[in-house]
Amino acid sequence: MTNTTDDRAEDRRGAGGAVQSVDRAVSVLEILARLGEAGVTEIADELGVHKSTAFRLLGVLENRGLVGQEKERGKYYLGAGVLRLAGAAAIRLDISQEGAPVCRTLAEETGETANIAVLDGDAAVNIMQARGAAAVTAYNWLGRRTALHATASGKVLLAHLATERRERLLARKLARFTEHTIADGAALREQLESAARLGFACASEELEIGLNAVAAPVRGHDGAVIGAIGASGPAYRMTSGRLPELAESAAKAALELSRRMGFPG
């Protein structure tokens, strides 16, 4: 069915209204961050809107755990959901900062490209990189999202996910990037169990032909896996016979970075 001019105008108004609502919701959070707590009337005055509009915004934010309400006085304050979001951002920032020297050392020891990756939804994203002397490629992995099942870092992150979430991801159709990609759920589960048991994971030409990698888990202060650090390089140099040695280097780097992140182990 063809949209009329009126339909398109309504779509534009709807899009503009959605953006305005998001802007106001963010403003509510900023007001509460500045004031500590505030009532509906105060928030409405700050926003320059009717109390009913402020009340609706607060209701949505409260449902998402981003604000809470003092029941006796009716005042609103920032909720635990904000702390959760801030904590996730802080972890990513901290692991990047603390991981920089560890990543460089791993690259120097192995001669290969070293990376730190964290979970980003259903993928691994590389947030730190250092190149060793033997690295022959200038390819930049920073910021690149890669498939969890086809990379060493991704397998590490998958192996330490909560069972329900991991199974939900494995239930999907797994993309096959090369003839070596493990796209069978049962076979992949065996590798993930091995990765959890041994403390490292390997990927042999599973994302790209000619590219091999190893990675080990990075833990936070509470022991939870918050990332993976590893090395990648050409298959002719990172041979199957050399992977255990490189995996040992990755595990050592992971332990060092975990200690920097507050893990007592």
Instruction: Give the pLDDT confidence of 104-124 residue by residue, as tens digits.
Output: 999 999 999 999 999 988 899
Determine which of 50-64, 152-166, 187-201 has the lowest per-residue pLDDT on average: 50-64
- Distance, in Å, from the CA atom of 199 to the CA atom of 33, rounded to the nearest integer, reads 41
Q: How many Cβ atoms sit within 10 Å of the Cβ of residue 226? A: 24
What pLDDT score was predicted for residue 136?
A: 58
What pLDDT score was predicted for residue 135?
A: 65
Look at 38 and 141; give whichever has higher pLDDT: 38
Please check the confidence at residue 36 and state whether its pLDDT lies above 90. Answer: no
133-138 contacts: CB < 8 A, separation 24 or more?
A: 133/108, 134/233, 134/237, 135/107, 135/111, 135/233, 136/234, 137/113, 137/234
Mapped onto helix, strand or coil, the DSSP state of residue 255 is helix
- Distance, in Å, from the CA atom of 113 to the CA atom of 141, rounded to the nearest integer, reads 10
Q: Are strands 225-234 and 201-204 parallel, antiparallel or unpaired?
A: unpaired
The type of residue at 115 is: N
Please check the confidence at residue 80 and state whether its pLDDT lies above 90. Answer: no
What pLDDT score was predicted for residue 203?
A: 96
List b or e across 71-85, with b for residues whose CB sees 16 or more CB atoms inside 10 angstroms. eeeebbebbebbeee
Q: What is the pLDDT of residues 143-172, one digit of tens each?
A: 888 999 999 999 999 999 999 999 999 998
Mapped onto helix, strand or coil, the DSSP state of residue 49 is coil
Please, what is the average pLDDT of the chain? 87
Model confidence, pTM: 0.67
Q: Mean pLDDT, to the nearest integer, of 67-84?
A: 81
Q: How many helices (H) and strands (E) does the chain have?
A: 8, 8
